[in-house]
Structure 1
Amino acid sequence: MTLSSAPSSQVNEVKEHYNKLKDALIMMVDDEPIMMDLVQTFLESEGYKHFVNLEDSTQAVSEVLQQRPDVLLLDLNMPEVNGFEILAELQQDDKLNHIPVIVLTSSSDSDSKLKALELGATDFLAKPVDPSELALRLRNTLTVKAYQDQLAYYDALTGLPNRKLFLDRLEWSLSRQQREGGSAAIIDISLDGFKKINQSLGIKSGDILLKCVADRLMEHIRQSDVVSKIPEQDLYRSLSRLAGDEFSILLTDIDRPDQVETIIRRLVNLFQTPFNIANEEVLISASVGVAIYPDDGDTSDSLVKRAGVASAHVKQNGGNGYHFFSKELEARSKQRLSLEMDLRQAIEHQEFALHYQPKVWTATQQIMGMEALLRWQHPKKGMISPAEFIPLAEELGLLPSIGRWVIIEGCRQLARWQQQGLPPLKLSINVSPQQLKDKSIITLLGKAIEKFSLSPSQLVIEITESLAMEDSTANVELLHAIKALGVDLSIDDFGTGYSSLSYLKHLPFDELKIDRSFLINIPNDRDEVAIVKAIIAMAQSLDLRVVAEGVEEAPQLEFLNKLQCEVIQGFYFSKPLPSKAFAEFVLSHKQ
């Protein structure tokens, strides 16, 4: 099929392809200026626009490194440094050996051609150069290079430059900024909660979202004053998809720091508008981090790393914002990395322990059970707060394995206490969302009960209100399966979520725990008193055992007792205790 007989869409695609090729940067190295002028004049008539001509062959390799041409037209026979030597140097440099080289030579012997091919030459043209032959060879060479570059340097999903091309361009830009005394910025953009999008909508919808994000970012770059100095054909190169849900923008020739802050604010605001994915509106935010050259680093590795440190700080603090890199952030990042490594080994090194906080019958003030609370005794850093390591464990996906250890260890300790003559007690164990989604928890509970000869009614599994209220068939089925074992179920932190009474009454819960935040100011705060009364009344109407946690003062206890809140838990009776101290505490309160 000829081009004239092809469909118009195909003709347009071919024309667009050829037009893109003519944006290529062509570099010529030849000791004959007249020859370079003739070649450039002809190529300009063919539509090519960008040229670098070099007569001094001793500067060829450094100029190629600085200019990064799309193709090199190279004479072989030159004084001082010949074309063979230049080819050899280019071949040894990983940053340059992919650049296609068309050799222009008056030499016709096969040995010279073979040697040039062995040194990495792509094609040959005999001098004097035939214009039509040059146009054909150049077009073919650039077409092959464009295809190879697309595979090696561009993200298949979004069409944006990938990490490899981004780092290559960054190094080139830093080299130029260093020579000219300029400044540059790396902006790291990490999507918040993208994993949940994949889980809820599917990987295909996740890919569509990434493409939409890339398109919106590119449109923003086109409209931004900050990057207006970048030529239109190079705009896409300032934006890259580094990996997964992470994008990066390279800003060069920055005059003032406030320029960077302006574009960052706009970037964050870009995500305030939902994306339309398969006729469904999806709202996703981004954590944006910034590193400035040369203040925050003078190498590509250090700048990319530090921009990532800044965006990670935003994400750890809720996301949907931006932060500039600082030395304080880097110190925190190193501490966090160290903590991550230690946390992964904590179970193996037996650094975790369970402490137990008594749960007490309000009316009789006798101990009815205890809540198992995880503690981490680091060998060098001492006791690490659960508020510090549990969110980290959740982020790293370690909670299921830690949770399994908690169930086994808690049941083992309960069996020991029974052998020591302690009265029958109920052991409450918190289960994370990650654990609850793992159906193996049913098997684990069953095996633990059997292994340690426990009564299922001695165990209470606590889940948060927000997790309990997830309208998920799988969640509901799992809760009923746990209940079928004979194990009690408890709603923790009640009052902090959005419970529906009609939904709650269909779930197999035995216990409801009023969140401690509602007890701080009772009985003096009228609003909190009203809330606590309503929660207790609702729980009693559903025949649920009510536990008030965070009780620290006698007036709170008296108030709760009057409302017939069955169980209390808090520092008024005891802080969480190690297993030995807890046993002593129970025995001292035994009637």
Structure 2
Amino acid sequence: MGDKQRMTGNDESGVRPLALVVDDDPSLRLYMSAALKKSGFNVLEAESGEAALGLFTTGRPDLILLDLVMPGMDGFETCRAVRRLPGGRYTQILMVTGLDDNDSIETAFDAGANDFVSKPINWTILGHKGKYLLRAGQAFKELDRNRRRLAKTQELARLGNWQIDLVSFEFSCSSKASRLLGFDGWGQISYDDFLSAIIARERDMVKEKIDQAVQSNQNIVLNYPVILPDGTQKHILNQGEILYKKNGEPELMLGVIQDVSRLKQAEEEIRLLAFYDSLTGLANRALFMDRLEQAIASAGRTRQKFALLFLDLDQFKLINDTLGHQIGDLLLKQVAARLKTNIRKSDTAAAPGMDSPDSVIARLGGDEFTVLLSNIDEPESAARVAARLIREIADTYHLEGHDVAMTTSVGISVFPADGTESSTLLKNADSAMYHAKKNGRNNYQFYMESLNRAATERFSMERDLNKALENEEFVLFYQPQVDLASRRIVGAEALIRWIHPLKGMIAPDTFIPIAEESGQIIDINRWVLQAACNQKRDWLHAGLKAIRVAVNLSGYKLSSQNIIGTIKEALGKDSADYQNLELEITENVLMQETRETLSTLKQIKALKLRIALDDFGTGYSSLSYLTSFPVDVIKIDRSFVMGCITEPKNLIIIKAIIAMGHSMDKRIVAEGIETEEQFSLMKALDCDEGQGYFFKHPVPAADFAEFLAKEKL
């Protein structure tokens, strides 16, 4: 281009635009060039279409004056070729024609011309028209740059747009929006397609809100996850605004969707840093205090109780000082994992639909942990959880070659008795924890002294239970089971008693729940089975008749007790022993872990043992249990039998149980018979067997042997 100045189309800048004159007539090229130069253009000339394409590639002119009729490549073909070249889309092309027919003009515009001028040419007008076209071309170029800039910006910002015509209610969206939602190559997608990517649990909500916004002409801001066809998940921000006509009528809802997955991820990372302990993954102090405030507000509205447990590891500082902070951190992580494992959903008793926060486990700092138990029934519930945590944390931890023994002390405060403000509840739980440390560590204490007495009693009983088996403090009492028609003894129910060396006899209702919670019940079940089977053999060896012995088994986690192995160990190889052993379980056992429990009961039946369902009628789904579980005996709960004379409803229930049980070939036993009237009524109703104080109280094995020798009661 020699010393030609580069064109920008901006006369005020002093930079001259470049024009290309294409005509096979040299004189016309000369006149056109002169007119354009006079109007401020630099000019290139070409005598043919082929030459013009070469000059366009090297010079990139802003304006082309193109003769329509030329030998070889005419003006139509040259125009089309220019439009196909890089940079040729927005170059202004002015056709020069001597033709005055409309078809030629139409063809010129179809080929891509911006305007035309007819011969003979008005040279003054030509210069002005050239400058006008140049301004138009610059506007189109700027518009194209803005469009491409907007498209790139949307791509970088992960944006797509959509709209709903508020007159026809037709939906459309951009290709970028389609791609964001995973519909690559689909072209225009429908409104249903647009919604189908939304995660199922939120799809109806999003549709409802968009529909409501369209109907009421309101703007919307929605935030929701989507699942793409390849299974990946994104988080979408969807914003929609109403556009109005000049007369104020709504015309469009124009919306923008944006992929904010990275922002969401960043927010989650910030949230984790702000509200969760980086070492253990538990809630930190800030989050715990927020949840504690929520619990106070919720419990205040619903008049519920909740408990706050404050845990501190015993002598943790010694671990840090002797083994280093790395070992201490490993210990804290393992303790946190045990806390998460051992806080169960059943530790709270929130009613369905109640707007209360869930239990929260937090690390306040150092070796201090807190547990928030929402909606407890009674303080004893918190005590059970505290005892379980103490038991689970007390252990030897193996940490990078070091064996570290660790225990914890727990303080408990209860809302509202121990405070109605978060700081007060936390302070009082902390105070109770220090009281636990002063009492020898590895125990829990309530802040309220009256509760501490009960807690201390329970803790003492749990401790003594650990020694009861070893010290042979358990005994079995036996209560006769009598055939009502003949009054002959046909069986005995074995009932455990605890003869405490200081407190005397303790009833099973008192210590069995503690044994279940502490896990000691498994060993107690094993002892009961073994002792009952041994006694049955002793009676037989003493010449007494063989009778059926019923053993009450705690059903706590029945399927995980290895009860089959325990039975085989107690009975040995004598098949007669198997036929004369009956296992009693309660209805609440059948409500737990249904599939596993059913499997365990079937294995018991495979050993030829009989299964009795105790306390029948006090559960919730008695009939379904009879049809689903392999039960041989139904024991009518004593509460029905004792009121059978005075309460007509009780009599109706008893009749129904007997009729239903007999129809299913079950043996029926009435518990709690205490009077002659009750005995006579049960016999008249065709009940098979009975037991109760009318016949005999539970007695030691030696006394029962005397009853058995008489055979009848």
Q: Could you state the TM-score of these two structures normalised by the residue count of structure 2?
A: 0.43
Distance 2:467 2:364 in 1: 40
The answer to whether the aligner puts 1:303 opposite 2:446 as a matched pair is no
Q: Deviations over 1:35-80 (max 9, x none)?
A: xxxxxxxxxxxxxxxxxxxxxxxxxxxxxxxxxxxxxxxxxxxxxx
Give runs of aligned pairs for residues 313-332 of structure 1, distance below 5 A: 325-332=447-454
8 Å CA contact 2:276–2:282 kept in 1: the answer is no
Residue in 2 aligned with 1:344? 466
Match of 2:642, SS?
Answer: coil
The alpha-carbon distance between structure 1 residues 474 and 300, as it changes in their structure 2 partners (threshold 3 A), is closer
Matches within 5 A, 1:529-544: 529-544=651-666
What does 1:273-288 align with in structure 2 at a 5 Å threshold?
288=415
Equivalent in 292, 308, 318 of residue 189 of structure 1:
308
Report the Cα offset of residue 296 of structure 1. 11
Cα distance, 1:572–1:160 mapped onto 2, change above 3 Å? same
Whole-angstrom distance in 1 between the partners of 2:358 and 2:539: 66
Q: Does 1:493 align with 2:615?
A: yes
- Whichever residue aligns with residue 588 of structure 1, its letter is K
Q: Deviations over 1:87-115 (max 9, x none)?
A: xxxxxxxxxxxxxxxxxxxxxxxxxxxxx
Which of 456, 460, 470 is the aligned partner of 2:578?
Answer: 456
CA contact (8 A) 2:418 2:428 kept: no
Is 2:708 the counterpart of 1:586?
yes
Alignment of 1:252-271 (within 5 A): none
8 Å contact from structure 2 (residues 479, 697) kept in 1: yes
Mapped to 2, the partners of 1:545 and 1:297 lie a distance apart of 56
Aligned: 1:159 with 2:284:
yes
- In the alignment, which residue of structure 2 is the partner of 1:247? 372
From the superposition, tell whether residues 148 and 542 of structure 1 become closer, same or farther in structure 2 (CA, over 3 Å): closer
> Compared with structure 1, are the counterparts of its residues 428 and 237 closer, same or farther at alpha carbon in structure 2 (3 Å cutoff)?
closer
Cα separation, 2, equivalents of 1:295 and 1:161: 16
Amino acid at match of 1:474: E
Distance 1:399 1:435 in 2: 10
Q: Note the 1:18-33 alignment, pairs <5 A.
A: none
The question of whether the paired residues in 2 share the 8 Å contact of 1:355 and 1:578 is answered with yes
Contact 2:483 2:490 in 1 (8 A): yes
Which of 525, 536, 556 pairs up with 1:414?
536
Is residue 2:511 matched to residue 1:389?
Answer: yes
Secondary structure, aligned partner of 2:499: strand
AA in 2 matched with 1:157: L
1:560-571 aligned within 5 A: 560-571=682-693
Assess, with a 3 A threshold, how the Cα gap between structure 1 residues 157 and 406 changes in structure 2: closer, same or farther. Answer: same
The residue number in structure 2 matching 1:313 is: none
- The answer to whether the 8 A contact 2:643-2:650 is kept is yes
Aligned mate of 2:694, from 557, 572, 577: 572
- What residue in structure 1 maps to residue 648 of structure 2? 526
Deviation, structure 1 residue 369: 0.5
Q: Tell me the CA shift for residue 237 of structure 1.
A: 11
CA distance, structure 2, for counterparts of residue 583 and residue 204 of structure 1 = 46
Change (3 A) 1:583 1:506: same
1:466 Cα offset (Å): 2.5
Report deviation, 1:353. Answer: 0.5
Report 1:364-375 matches (<5 A).
Answer: 364-375=486-497
One-letter amino acid of the counterpart of residue 340, structure 1: E
- The 2-side partners of 1:351 and 1:443 are apart by 24
1:433-467 C-alpha deviation (Å, 9 max, x unpaired): 22522252112212322256743110001111222
Asked if the contact 2:636–2:668 (Cα under 8 Å) also holds between the matched residues in 1, the reply is: yes
Give, in whole Å, the separation in 1 of the partners of 2:608 and 2:694: 31
Distance in 2 (alpha carbons) for counterparts of 1:406 and 1:219: 39
Change (3 A) 1:301 1:424: same
Q: 1:359 aligns with which of 481, 504, 524?
A: 481
Instruction: Indicate if the aligned counterparts of 2:571 and 2:577 stay in contact, CA closer than 8 A.
Output: yes
SS at match of 2:571: helix
Of the candidates 423, 436, 441, which is equivalent to residue 563 of structure 2?
Answer: 441
2:602 to 450, 456, 480: 480
Instruction: Show CA shifts across 1:146-183 (max 9, x none).
Output: 9999868x7523234699x99xxxxxxxxxxxxxxxxx
Q: Which runs of 5+ in 1 are unaligned?
A: 1-6, 10-145, 167-186, 192-201, 222-235, 250-263, 269-285, 309-322
Please state how far the C-alpha of 1:333 moved relative to its aligned partner: 1.9
Report 1:132-211 matches (<5 A).
Answer: 156-160=281-285, 188-189=307-308
For the pair shown, which has the larger CA radius of gyration, 1 or 2? 2
Offset of residue 546 of structure 1: 0.3
Gapped runs of 5+ residues in structure 2?
A: 1-155, 159-271, 291-305, 311-339, 383-412, 438-444
Q: By how many angstroms is 1:411 displaced?
A: 0.5
User: Size of the alignment, in residue pairs?
Assistant: 350
Q: Deviations over 1:9-37 (max 9, x none)?
A: 9xxxxxxxxxxxxxxxxxxxxxxxxxxxx
Distance across 2 between alignment mates of 1:150 and 1:572: 63
Q: Give me the whole-angstrom Cα distance separating, in 1, the residues matched to 2:342 and 2:710.
A: 61
Q: Report the CA distance between 1:381 and its aligned residue.
A: 1.1
In structure 2, relative to structure 1, the CA distance for the partners of 1:470 and 1:336 (3 Å cut) is closer
Q: CA deviation at 1:468?
A: 2.7
**Cα distance in 2 for residues equivalent to 1:370 and 1:451:** 22
Aligned partners of 1:296 and 1:326 also within 8 Å: no
- Rounded Cα–Cα distance in structure 2 between residues aligned with 1:220 and 1:339: 28
- Relative distance call for 1:566 and 1:151 in structure 2 (3 A) is closer
> 1-side partners of 2:431 and 2:414: how far apart?
19
Whether the aligned pair in 2 keeps the contact of 1:297 and 1:303 (CA below 8 Å) is no
Residues 369-425 of structure 1, C-alpha deviations (whole Å, 9 max, x = no match)? 111101000011111122211111111121111101100111011111110111111
Q: Measure, in 2, the Cα distance between the counterparts of 1:499 and 1:206.
A: 25
- Tell whether the 8 Å contact from 1:290 to 1:307 is kept in structure 2 after alignment: no
Identity among equivalent pairs (%):
34
Q: 2:673 aligns with which of 548, 551, 576?
A: 551
CA gap of 1:188–1:459, structure 2 versus 1, over 3 A, is same
Per the alignment, in what secondary structure is the counterpart of residue 643 of structure 2?
coil
Could you say what secondary structure the match of 1:422 adopts? coil
- Structure 1 residue 506: deviation in Å? 3.7
| SS of alignment partner, residue 437 of structure 1 | helix
Q: What displacement does 1:427 show?
A: 0.7
Q: TM-score, normalised by structure 1?
A: 0.51
Cα 1:483–1:237 shift into 2, 3 Å: closer
Alignment of 1:52-131 (within 5 A): none
* 4+ residue segments displaced more than 4 Å: 146-152, 202-207, 216-221, 236-244, 286-290, 292-301, 305-308, 451-454
Distance change (3 Å), C-alpha of 1:424 and 1:376 = same
